[in-house]
Amino acid sequence: MNNKVKKFVPQLITLLAIILVFGFFTYNAQINMDNRGIEFGYGFLKQESSFDVQFSLIEYDGSHSYARAYLVGLLNTLLVSFIGIILSTIIGVIVGIARLSPNFLIKNTAAFYVEFFRNIPLLLQIFFWYFAALRALPLPQDAEAWFGSTYMTIKGYYVPLFVWNNLDIFLYSILAAIISIVIIRSYAKKIQENEGKQLPVFYISLGLLILLPLLSFVIGGVNLEIKTPVLKQLSATGFIFEPALSLPPELIALVLALSLYTATFIAECVRAGIQGVSKGQKEAAASIGLTPKQVLKLVIMPQALRIIIPPTTNQYLNLTKNSSLAAAIAYPDLVLVFAGTALMQTGRAIEIVSITMLTYLSISLAISALMNWYNKKIAIKEK
């Protein structure tokens, strides 16, 4: 009996406290909103937004709804995160391997990079790139071409515009290639398990990945037109490049800062992963006659990846959340467009902040659910 009370009372107190706090908050919110004449609801999402966004992946202007503005912000956030994840992975893997190099200079340069970039707040790094480094770039009329026809200017990075015809067929061909690669891989594995024969899966996959999109050009009616940027005068002193795809300096600063910062953490994950595989594994694999390539592919990498991937995914998640710092340099991401401009215009603090937080929360929860599933799949099954 005594034990039951012991278990029951603390729970009851917690529950009561939670209900009380929430009740108190809702009650106050109700009164506050009544006083200001606002009614709680998400109907405002359908209203016309009447503000413009500088940089958008989808068609958008002031006549579209707030819901559309939300989508613009979300896509911009995902764009920054996507580029950042790719760049930081590349840098992180290189630096992580470099930290294990036997070369004294390489090892210490990599260590210096890691210690330097991870001990400076990300916000300051973003500010540094945006306000100090990128402001030193030339004006469009003074810019020199990089790699032939791209221009790095103070107004952004201008790259040639790709004009696609029948882009969807091209994408379908890539999708078809990926699906057939997956099928071939599982087939090759089956053959190897049954007959011990190895198919050259890599070369087949590579061939498919090149061949199918190429076919879509030849018979699918896909064609690609590349328009190189040409300097164009707008006014006496205003120049831009047209026709070109312009990456705004905000995006460049944000991607640079995010990937250089996150790469330091990924480098540490990679280093820990490779160090975590014991030397005996490599020697044992070599002693049963595997080639160095096979040792790396079949013995070292699977074990190292098991250590590397969980913390690295965490870093990807951090990068996505940190991309919200975009608001500080006016890159139109979810926070700036929705929790900034839209909130200022509608005054609906509760609805907008809750939507924004829920968006990030669902991205995080989705990725961590995926992670848990993956962890369970690759965990060593002990007998």
Q: Minimum CB separation from another protein for residue 203, in Å?
A: 26
Comparison of 200 and 347: residue with beta carbon closer to another protein: 347
Best CA proximity match to 97, nearest among 231, 250, 275: 275
CA-based nearest residue to 241, from 129, 138, 131: 138
Shortest spacing between CB 294 and another protein, in angstroms: 22
- The contact set with another protein (CB under 8 A) reads 7, 10-11, 14-15, 18, 24-25, 28-29, 31-33, 35, 101-106, 109, 115-116, 118-125, 127-128, 131-133, 135, 321-322, 324-325, 327-328, 335, 339, 343, 349-350, 353-354, 356-357, 360-361, 363-365
> Residue 294 or 362: which CB sits closer to another protein?
362
Please count the other Cβ atoms lying within 10 Å of the Cβ belonging to residue 316.
Answer: 18
Encode 189-221: b = buried (16+ Cβ within 10 Å), e = exposed: eeeeeeeeeeeeeeeebeebbeebbeebeeebe
Q: How far, in Å, CA of 170 to CA of 212, rounded?
A: 9
Nearer to another protein, 183 or 350 (CB): 350
Q: Which is nearer to another protein, 298 or 344 (CB)?
A: 344
State the nearest-atom distance from the C-beta of 301 to another protein, in Å. Answer: 21
Report how far residue 43's alpha carbon sits from residue 58's, in angstroms, rounded to the nearest whole number.
Answer: 23
Shortest Å distance, C-beta 101 to another protein: 8
Shortest CB 165 distance to another protein, Å: 39
- Which of 135/190 has CB closer to another protein? 135
